[in-house]
């Protein structure tokens, strides 16, 4: 794996919603981290040889029969352990302490009292630091060898430690932003207690990944479905850096790309990066298959099928290929793996090439599967990709086909392309693009009466949407400045022939979704 040449901290996942966040916080310290199911054996951990282990939180109660437990031999490995919330409780229970379910539980913000400033874990934080609590069970007797280092009015064991064995536990969540000095605690554990070297960065990742790709591929050839999105673009450039013309990229134009996007992809990857790029303009095929279709899921399935058929046809023209490259990210890998250690499932089909004929027998090459999205963007910068691509907003695999509400036609797509282009341009001009998670325009299947140039018009309606989010699981509508909306709406109605009315969508997620379809 790309982190093999670096010190590592592993996170044991007990089903916590914050496990990925813990791993990201460790990486922010410049140290490689990876998430494993809590069922990982002590022998496997010994083989991995991490500098430290973090037990995540989790929804279970340690008092429930069959609740998650790590291999008890982990405590004999001599490796520092930090238990967070459930991780603290399960460590206490397994080492001879006791956990109960008190009447008063703690949820939300709380201030801890640091009662032992000599502790390595808490030595750099203030005496009454604000933290985020979220627990029902609590430790009511700590194991032999442990001491209390922090309390709250209702939690006498908010933080404990056994410095001789280098075991530490906190009842709160230092990984979330609400714990204002949580990053300091994690840094103290990772760098001071575990003595991990802070040498994990995108420069070192590139070196490791190039070596790994070359070793895996040898003299064989790799096929990559290039979409022009962040993930596939970064994966393609990284693989090309490693093996050059052994990589062949197929770029399928489904006719539902943004304005001038096909030309930009061909220019950047074909000419600037000098890649072996095969271009297939399948616009007519996609639009023919979508004729008369209005139901959202049916549209997505048709677009997916035509894409696979087109990609398969183009792949056959590439000759002998042994590997299929995909831009799979670490969250995809984690989400496809159950906390109990079940096998990985197929990666999301709308992000990657799925449903290809079995006779192709390609091996998967997933050079980004160790990275989070923000790290992929940093990697893109390291590889020389332009900011406009690296920091672009999420864009759906089916493209404007799912933003052209109702029937998808060339005329409606051209109208939507112009609307979308103006909206994004005005957001960029206002310096707002990087403050927004995702901005998009939809063309609605309704028409309205308007007056343009002293004439009565009857044209389509578009809606603009912009949201803020951390991970797209939830999203809030962006409070767009009125002057930006006014300029965008004015330009759309004046410059786009098919539209005479502009709406702004102020629906959050939930109850709505970010995309309309």
3-class DSSP state of 446? strand
Q: What is the b/e burial string over 152-168, where b = at least 16 CB atoms within 10 angstroms of the residue's CB?
A: beebbbbbbbbbebbbb
DSSP at 336? T
What is the SS3 assignment for 169-215?
Answer: EECCCCCCCCCCCHHHHHHHHHHHHCCCCCCCCHHHHHHHHHHHHHH
Dihedral of CA atoms 371, 377, 380, 384 in degrees, nearest 10, equals -150
3-class DSSP state of 151? strand
CB atoms < 10 A from the CB of 223, how many?
A: 23
Catalytically annotated residue among 6, 29, 85, 517: 85
Catalytically annotated residue among 6, 135, 173, 351: 173
Contact between 223 and 319 under an 8 Å Cβ cutoff? The reply is no
Report residue 108: phi and psi, to 5°. Answer: 105, -160
Residue 412, both tokens: 């409606």
Rg (CA), the chain: 26
Angle between helices 202-217 and 230-243 (to 10 degrees): 60
Question: What CA–CA distances, in Å, run from 384 to 148, 206, 514?
Answer: 50, 12, 30
> Of 139, 312, 322, whose CA–CA distance to 213 is shortest?
322
3-class DSSP state of 408? coil
Contact between 51 and 7 under an 8 Å Cβ cutoff? The reply is yes
Alpha-carbon distance 335 to 341, whole Å? Answer: 12
Q: Which residues pair with 155 in a beta bridge?
A: 152
Report residue 390: phi and psi, to 5°. Answer: -60, -40
Contact between 255 and 289 under an 8 Å Cβ cutoff? The reply is no
Residues 6 or more apart whose Cβ sits within 8 Å of residue 184? 124, 125
Catalytically annotated residue among 93, 106, 161, 175: 175
> Of 470, 469, 473, 445, whose CA–CA distance to 459 is shortest?
445
85 catalytic? Reply is yes
Contact between 7 and 32 under an 8 Å Cβ cutoff? The reply is yes
175 catalytic? Reply is yes
366 catalytic? Reply is no
Q: Which residues pair with 324 in a beta bridge?
A: 223, 364
Residues annotated catalytic, as ranges? 85, 173, 175
């Amino acid at each position: 794996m790309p982190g093999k040449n670096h010190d590592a901290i592993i996170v044991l996942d007990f089903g916590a919603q914050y496990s990925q966040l813990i791993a990201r916080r460790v990486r922010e310290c410049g140290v490689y981290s990876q998430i494993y199911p809590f069922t990982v054996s002590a022998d496997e951990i010994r083989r991995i040889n991490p500098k430290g282990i973090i037990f995540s939180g989790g929804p279970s109660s340690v008092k429930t029969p069959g609740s998650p437990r790590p291999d008890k031999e982990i405590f004999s490995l001599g490796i520092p352990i930090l238990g967070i919330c459930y991780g603290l409780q399960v460590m206490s229970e397994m080492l001879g302490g006791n956990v109960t379910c008190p009447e008063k539980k703690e949820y939300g913000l709380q201030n801890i009292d640091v009662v032992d400033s000599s502790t390595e874990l808490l030595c750099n934080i203030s005496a009454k630091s604000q933290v985020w609590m979220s627990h029902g069970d609590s430790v009511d007797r700590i194991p032999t060898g442990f001491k209390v280092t922090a309390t709250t009015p209702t939690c006498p064991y908010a933080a404990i430690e056994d410095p001789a064995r280098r075991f530490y536990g906190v009842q709160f969540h230092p990984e979330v932003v609400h714990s204002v000095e949580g990053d300091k605690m994690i840094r103290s554990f990772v760098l001071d207690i575990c003595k991990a070297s802070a040498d994990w960065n995108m420069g070192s990742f590139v070196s490791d990944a190039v070596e790994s790709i070359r070793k895996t591929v040898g003299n064989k050839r790799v096929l990559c479905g290039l979409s022009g999105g962040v993930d596939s673009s970064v994966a393609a450039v990284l693989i090309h850096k490693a093996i050059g013309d052994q990589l062949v990229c197929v770029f399928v134009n489904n006719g539902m790309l943004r304005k001038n996007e096909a030309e930009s992809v061909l220019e950047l990857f074909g000419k600037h990066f000098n890649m072996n790029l095969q271009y297939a303009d399948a616009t007519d095929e996609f639009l023919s298959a979508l004729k008369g279709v209005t139901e959202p899921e049916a549209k997505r399935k048709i677009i997916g099928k035509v894409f696979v058929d087109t990609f398969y046809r183009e792949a056959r023209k590439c000759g002998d290929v042994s590997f299929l490259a995909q831009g799979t990210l670490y969250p995809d890998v984690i989400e496809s793996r159950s906390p109990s250690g079940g096998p990985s499932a197929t990666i999301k089909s709308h992000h990657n090439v799925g449903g290809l004929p079995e006779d192709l027998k390609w091996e998967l090459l997933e050079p980004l599967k160790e990275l989070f999205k923000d790290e992929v963007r940093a990697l893109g910068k390291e590889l020389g990709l332009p900011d406009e691509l690296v920091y672009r907003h999420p864009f759906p695999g089916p493209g404007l086909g799912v933003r052209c509400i109702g029937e998808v036609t060339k005329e409606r797509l051209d109208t939507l392309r112009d609307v979308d282009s103006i909206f994004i341009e005005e957001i960029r001009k206002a310096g707002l693009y990087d403050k927004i998670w995702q901005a998009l325009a939809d063309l609605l299947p309704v028409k309205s009466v308007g007056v343009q140039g002293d004439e009565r018009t009857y044209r389509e309606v578009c809606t603009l949407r912009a949201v803020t989010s951390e991970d797209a699981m939830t999203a809030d509508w962006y409070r767009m400045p009125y002057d930006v909306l006014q300029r965008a709406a004015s330009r759309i109605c004046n410059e786009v022939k098919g539209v005479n009315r502009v709406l702004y969508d102020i629906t959050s997620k939930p109850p709505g979704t970010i995309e309309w379809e």
